[in-house]
Amino acid sequence: MKAIVGERYGAPERLRLEDVPEPALKDGWVLLKVRAASLNAMDWHTVRGTPYLARGSMGLTKPSSAVPGGDLAGVVEAVGAGVTRFSPGDRVFGTKRGSLAEYACAPEIQLAHMPASASFEQAATLPIAGVTALQALRDRGQVTGGTRVLVNGAGGGVGTFTVQLAAAMGAEVTAVCGTHNVELVRSLGAREVIDYSREDFNERDTRYEVIIDNVSTRRLSSLRRVLEPEGILVVIGGAPGNWVGPMVPVAKAALANIFTKQSLGFMMAKVTPEDLDVLARHLADGTVVPVIDRVVTLADAPAALSYLEQGHARGKVVVNI
Ligand SMILES: NC(=O)c1ccc[n+]([C@@H]2O[C@H](COP(=O)([O-])OP(=O)(O)OC[C@H]3O[C@@H](n4cnc5c(N)ncnc54)[C@H](OP(=O)(O)O)[C@@H]3O)[C@@H](O)[C@H]2O)c1
């Protein structure tokens, strides 16, 4: 099969489209013909092997999976012994390391059925970014109708889902994004939009009950100043850097959390079949409409990863396979 391959850590431009063996089917696993994959920041991090301290889980000297990618949508080709939820021909979506390939083999528990009305490109956008947004709002933020939510970094993959899901929960959403995304995030359900290149949200006289910080562009003290005294800050994205930089906002929030009634902390999302089903229902009923920046071919996936790494993608970048 064709796949994007990077045997060693390095820039995404060094990845190559190559012929590799198809993955073997295992008990409890599902073999898929991948039809679309979506890219996440995690993918360029695992290609580069950064931050270096994360190499313990990515592979110490080289990537543990030569084929990058995580999110996918496709058609079931075959199922291993013990698989109960899927049959050949089913249209499914979920996550599996190595999704930038024509075939992938994933544990049953990492997949869910696609809504009949959805395209493979749409379904492939959902797993990591959609589940992260859902768990940040529902589980950490305990967002319900009327909750005042600030979303910092509203224009990207996680951000565009966060705005839509928060609006679907009835929250009053204020979104922070760049000029080129102002109209987009308003159309996704944000009541207020702050263009960070023109306005500082610290200068507004508003406090939020929940802040979802996807980008860690602001100091913890700035975020806390606009958070209610018993409000909840959910840190999703770390700061830039190859060494400890990404961990600094996370560590500061964890430390400050000990001394305040505000709830301050990092959240690591976990993709579950139940939450994939929740997102599938949102996609089916139109309360979530994935924002797709661009759709590229498998051969163009390395360039698309470089584009995503620049940090200003508009919603999701999708690879058609
Ligand atoms: N904790 C977890 O479980 C988890 C899960 C998924 C992702 N993440 C992390 O979350 C972060 C965001 O992921 P993503 O998929 O949304 O990334 P993405 O698609 O690359 O989006 C990043 C967004 O950041 C925005 N941005 C850049 N500078 C900004 C600023 N100064 N103020 C506000 N927004 C700014 C950009 O929008 P503009 O163009 O409008 O500036 C861009 O769209 C990444 O660091 C990723 O690693 C964490």
Q: What is the pLDDT of residues 122-135, one digit of tens each?
A: 999 999 999 999 99
Predicted local distance difference test score (pLDDT) of residue 238 = 83
Contact call for residues 137 and 149 (beta carbons, < 8 A)? yes
Q: What is the pLDDT of residues 59-115, one digit of tens each?
A: 999 999 999 999 999 999 999 999 999 999 999 999 999 999 999 999 999 999 999
Decide if pLDDT at 52 tops 90. Answer: yes
Q: What is the pLDDT of residues 198-235, one digit of tens each?
A: 999 999 889 999 999 999 999 999 999 999 999 999 99
- E-strand ranges in the chain read 2-5, 16-19, 29-38, 71-79, 91-95, 103-107, 111-113, 148-152, 172-177, 192-195, 208-213, 227-235, 263-266, 292-297, 316-320
Please state the rounded mean pLDDT for residues 133-158: 98
Please state the rounded mean pLDDT for residues 272-287: 98
Query: Which residues, in sequence order, are bridge partners of residue 3?
Result: 18, 101
Please state the rounded mean pLDDT for residues 27-43: 98
The CB of 196 under 6 Å from ligand 1? The reply is yes
Q: What is the CA radius of gyration of the chain?
A: 19
Predicted local distance difference test score (pLDDT) of residue 112 = 98
The region, left, alpha or beta by phi > 0 then psi within -120 to 50, assigned to residue 28 is left
Select from 45, 139, 158 the residue to mutate for testing ligand 1; criterion: most ligand atoms less than 8 Å from CB: 158
| Average model confidence (pLDDT) across the chain | 97
Can you tell me the distance from the alpha carbon of 178 to that of 85, in angstroms, rounded to the nearest whole number? Answer: 42
Predicted local distance difference test score (pLDDT) of residue 209 = 98
Select from 44, 132, 179, 215 the residue to mutate for testing ligand 1; criterion: most ligand atoms less than 8 Å from CB: 215
The CB of 128 under 6 Å from ligand 1? The reply is yes
The CB of 177 under 6 Å from ligand 1? The reply is yes
> Using 50, 70 and 90 to split pLDDT, how confident is the model at 150?
very high
- Cis check for the bond before 51: say yes or no (omega within 30 of 0): yes
Using CA positions, which residue lies closest to atom 10 of ligand 1?
A: 237
Q: Quote the DSSP letter at residue 287.
A: S
